[in-house]
């Protein structure tokens, strides 16, 4: 894995170790795409030294993961089975028999 950043004004792309924080003009690439990276004619690619093994997760990484899980859990609905299925209902002009949240449509005669 690697992070690609660029300086458009200097026609330079920089490919280096995976970034530890998000930046607006940084793109994370898998190893295959990092190795096969090409840039427009006239641009320069700076390839920074890559670590031989990924860094071990630290306490900040684990705390960020725990916070993300808590945030996702608090944003999730309490019981998805109780959500309304009103958006699945056919228009009122359709004739048929209701069976729970499903509707049996009669063929026109």
- What tens digit of pLDDT does each residue of 9-22 get? 899 999 988 887 77
End-to-end CA distance of the chain: 63
Show the beta-strand stretches assigned E in the chain: 2-7, 12-16, 26-29, 44-47, 96-99, 102-105
Residue 102 is predicted with a pLDDT of 66
Which residue's entry shows tokens 């490919």?
A: 15
Domain ranges of the chain: 1-51
Across 21-27, average pLDDT: 83
Kindly report whether the global pTM for this prediction surpasses the value 0.95.
Answer: no
Give tens-digit pLDDT for 60-99.
777 888 888 888 888 766 655 555 555 555 555 555 555 5
pLDDT at 106 over 60: yes
Torsion, Cα of 52, 58, 64, 68 (10° steps): 70
Contact 47, 13 (CB under 8 A): no
């Amino acid at each position: 894995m690697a992070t690609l950043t660029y300086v458009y004004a200097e026609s330079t792309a920089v490919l280096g170790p995976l970034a530890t924080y998000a930046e607006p003009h940084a793109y994370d690439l898998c190893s295959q795409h990092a190795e096969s990276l090409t840039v427009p004619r006239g641009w320069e690619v700076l390839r920074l030294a890559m670590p031989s093994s990924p860094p071990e997760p630290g306490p900040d990484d684990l705390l960020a993961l725990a916070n993300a899980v808590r945030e996702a859990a608090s944003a999730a609905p309490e019981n998805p089975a109780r959500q309304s299925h009103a958006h699945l209902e056919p228009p009122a002009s359709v004739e048929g028999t209701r069976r729970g949240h499903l509707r049996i449509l009669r063929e026109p005669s």
